[in-house]
Structure formats: structure tokens, C-alpha cells
Structure 1
Amino acid sequence: MNQQASVLRTGRKFDQVLEGAREVFLADGFEGASVDNIAKAAGVSKATLYSYFPDKRVLFMEVVRSACVQQADASLELAPGTRRPREVLRAAAERVHGVLLGGFSLQLFRIFVAEADRFPELGPMFYESGPMTLHGEIQAYMEAAAARGELKIEDADLAAAQFIELCKADIFLRFLFKIDTEFTEAERERVISGAIDTFMARFGA
């Protein structure tokens, strides 16, 4: 990343630029976002924007970097040994839904898919800070629960991936392709309960 952007990553104006850029990039994508619109959304002049970021690509990378830091900081923190598996799995499922249906992560996902050829480094950055972190937390819980005899799991890595996919059943693709833009509590509960029941039928001790 441009050294100037790294050095000047502080201050109210800098935060305004990032927030405005994030808003425009999420709405218009990289190619559709204009520097004029970013400056307007940020409430700064183009000269101020360019003093932080000499070009749009550098600004886009900084928006992605900050979004990935935000994702990585949102730890699931599944407390081992304090709750029954169904309670822990419910907390994990609700977090998966929060990530999938919260809007921000999905918007980033769409941008990364669209810009995969232009920014090949973005996909791994997003995956490692979000989906991989969530997967790792669920996997660590499953390994600990299996060691305590609460679950019967030999491959916790695969089991964690399978549980996350169960949590996506029916609703994720509908949301991704904008067939539905929101889901009722009953619709989400149907998927979460089904995911937990299916998982426990296979892995319950």
C-alpha cells in the first residue's frame, strides 16, 4: 500500500474520506465509483482526498483493509464447557446469519467477486478476516466439545464447514440474488433449528 496512505491513517478528515469511499464503493463498485462522488459523500474537497490517497485504487484497498479489520475484531467467543452443544450451536448459527444477512459482508462479497481479476489479493484478505475466522472459532469449539464427549466428531474442520452450510440453507442464495431482501424471525428460526437438529442427529453424543 502507498506509504503516504499508511502514514496519514489518522484524523477526522481521514475517517470522513474512508466512510464516504466505503459508501460509494459498496453502492457503485470499484469501476462505477467516481472520485467526485467519493469526495461529495465524504464532505471533503478532491484536493483533501488526494492528499491522503493519490489514486482510487489505493483508496479502495484501504477501504477493504479497514473492513477486514472490522470483521476480524468481531469475535464469536464461544465459551467452552459452559453451555450445552445446542445452545452453543444456536449462538454460532445466529452469528452466521448476522454475517450472511447483515448486508455489509454480502456487499463486500459481491464486490470481491466482481473485482476478482482486478484485485486478486482481495478475496483471500476477506476470507481470512471473516469466513475463515468464524469457521476457526466454530471448529475450535467442536474439537473441545468432542474431547469432553459432548459431540462425536472426528473431523472438526469438515463438521464446522458443514454446519455453516446448513445455516445458509434456503435463505442465503435468495438473499445473494436479491430474490428476497429480508427474512422474518420465523423464517430464520426455521433454518437455524433445522441446522441444529440435522447437525446433532449426525454428531450428537
Structure 2
Amino acid sequence: MSTEKPVRITRRGIERREQIRTIAGALFLEHGYEGVSVDEIMRQAGGSKTNLYNHFGDKEGLFMAVISQMSETFTYGIKDLDVSMLPLKDGLERLGRQLLTVLMEEHHVAFQRLVIAESGRFPAIARTWFEKGPQMARHYFAKAIAPHVENGSLRQGDPRIMATHFHDMIVENLLSLALLGQYVSVEMQRQTIDDALQTLLHGWTVRNDRTGGTL
């Protein structure tokens, strides 16, 4: 039977870990994985490389920790938004605008470029980004859509599929433009969301056969 005691990380240790991860994240975004050395990370963070190895194992482990943390930030703005009391159009519009506000930030565009550049070398980072980024955003969209399917105001269908359609319609083209270095204005974001909602709600909404009105 092992007599080893679990390693306890102190508050100072947690702060040190976050400091290393933050500095490494900025360097990876600017220079890519290969362009950053452990020596440079620790030169900026201070201390010995032992700190990095103790917290993250190696450079690859640190890189994965950076990707995981940054992926979660995509949905920080929408996960706590309560749109349950809003009409569906207004709720999705609010969620969509908040998501695009985050995605179009220069920091996040640089992160997307990093994931694309390094996913061939590290397939796990693409999975991490997808699960914590786009997939989680779709989850929150589906959460907003589901009650309207249940109460009959939307056609019967899978809210997750509806959420995927909405997410992809508002994100894919604008993100592609941003990745190509083009400026994506707030007005472009709003127009894209409005167009997506007009198209999707026209197909989703249950209508009265006699009047054509929404139930």
C-alpha cells in the first residue's frame, strides 16, 4: 500500500502556475509553439524551469493548459446571460451579439490562428477548442431555443441542431474574414445576426394555417 501523501498546491503555487500560463499564452499567440522556448517563458516569468515542469510536466503540457484555458473564454460572456424571459428572437440576438463581440477581439482571432496552425501537430488542441468553444456556445443557444420547442411556438425538432444552424450562420463567414485580416464592424455583426434570425425563424416558427400568423 502506498504511503505517498497527495501533493498540496499552496495559494502561492496556484498564483505561480497562473503567472507562467499567462506569460506563455501571450508568447504562444505571438510566436507560435515552435517559436517559444521554455527558457524564454521562464526568463519572463522569473524563477527556474523546475516550476514549469512541476506544474505542467513539459512545454507541451503547458501549451495544452494554455489552449484549454483560452478555449473556455469564448463563452464567458454568454454562459451567465439569462434570456429565459425574452422572446426567442431577442434572446438569440443578445447571445449572438455577445459571442461575436468576444470572437472578433484581436486576442481571440490570434488564438484561432494558433489553433489552426498547430492542430496538425497536436490534434488534441483542436478537440479541446471545439468542445469548450463552438460546442459550448451551441449548448447555450440550444438552452435558449428548447423551451420554445416544448411550448409549441417552434416546430418540433432538435434544439441542438437549430442551435448549430444559428451558430454557424453568424460565426463562420465573419470569423473567416477576421482570420484573413479584414475588419469586422459591429454593424456587420448585427446585420449577420439579423439575417440569420430572419431566415431561421421563418422556417422554425409554427404558423396558423388560416391566418399565417405565429402561434
Q: Distance in 1 between matches of 2:39 and 2:14?
A: 21
C-alpha spacing 1:41/1:23, structure 2 compared with 1 (3 Å) = farther
> Rg larger in 1 or in 2?
2
2:205 is matched with 204
1:86 is matched with 89
Q: 1:143 aligns with which of 141, 146, 152?
A: 146
2:194 is matched with 193
Aligned partners of 2:72 and 2:133 also within 8 Å: no
Structure 1 residue 172 and structure 2 residue 190: aligned? no
Q: Distance in 2 between matches of 1:51 and 1:95?
A: 37
Please tell me the residue identity of whatever aligns with 1:130: G
Q: Distance in 2 between matches of 1:8 and 1:113?
A: 34
Please tell me the residue identity of whatever aligns with 1:115: E
Please tell me the residue identity of whatever aligns with 2:146: E
1:203: Cα distance to partner?
1.4
Correspondences of 1:101-116 after superposition (within 5 Å): 101-116=104-119
State percent identity of aligned pairs. 23
Aligned partners of 1:68 and 1:125 also within 8 Å: yes
Q: 1:119 aligns with which of 117, 122, 125?
A: 122
C-alpha spacing 1:48/1:143, structure 2 compared with 1 (3 Å) = closer
| 1:124-159, Cα deviation, whole Å (9 max, x unpaired) | 111111211111121232222111123224232222
Stretches of 4+ aligned residues off by more than 6 angstroms:
6-9
Give the CA RMSD over aligned residues: 3.0
Q: TM-score, normalised by structure 2?
A: 0.77
Consecutive unaligned residues of structure 1, counting only runs of 5 or more, are none
1:88: Cα distance to partner?
0.7
Structure 1 residue 158 and structure 2 residue 161: aligned? yes
Q: How many residues align?
A: 200
Please tell me the residue identity of whatever aligns with 1:21: A
Structure 1 residue 65 and structure 2 residue 68: aligned? yes
Consecutive unaligned residues of structure 2, counting only runs of 5 or more, are 1-5, 207-215
Q: Distance in 2 between matches of 1:113 and 1:184?
A: 23
SS of the residue aligned with 1:83?
coil
1:174: Cα distance to partner?
1.0
SS of the residue aligned with 1:37?
helix
1:17: Cα distance to partner?
1.1
Q: Distance in 2 between matches of 1:189 and 1:124?
A: 29
1:101: Cα distance to partner?
1.0
2:211 is matched with none
| 1:97-145, Cα deviation, whole Å (9 max, x unpaired) | 1342134443333222222232121111111112111111212322221
Q: Distance in 2 between matches of 1:200 and 1:158?
A: 14
| 1:56-111, Cα deviation, whole Å (9 max, x unpaired) | 21221222233345456655246464111111111121133134213444333322
Q: Distance in 2 between matches of 1:7 and 1:110?
A: 35
Q: Distance in 1 between matches of 2:65 and 2:11?
A: 12
Q: Distance in 2 between matches of 1:129 and 1:184?
A: 25
Please tell me the residue identity of whatever aligns with 2:176: L
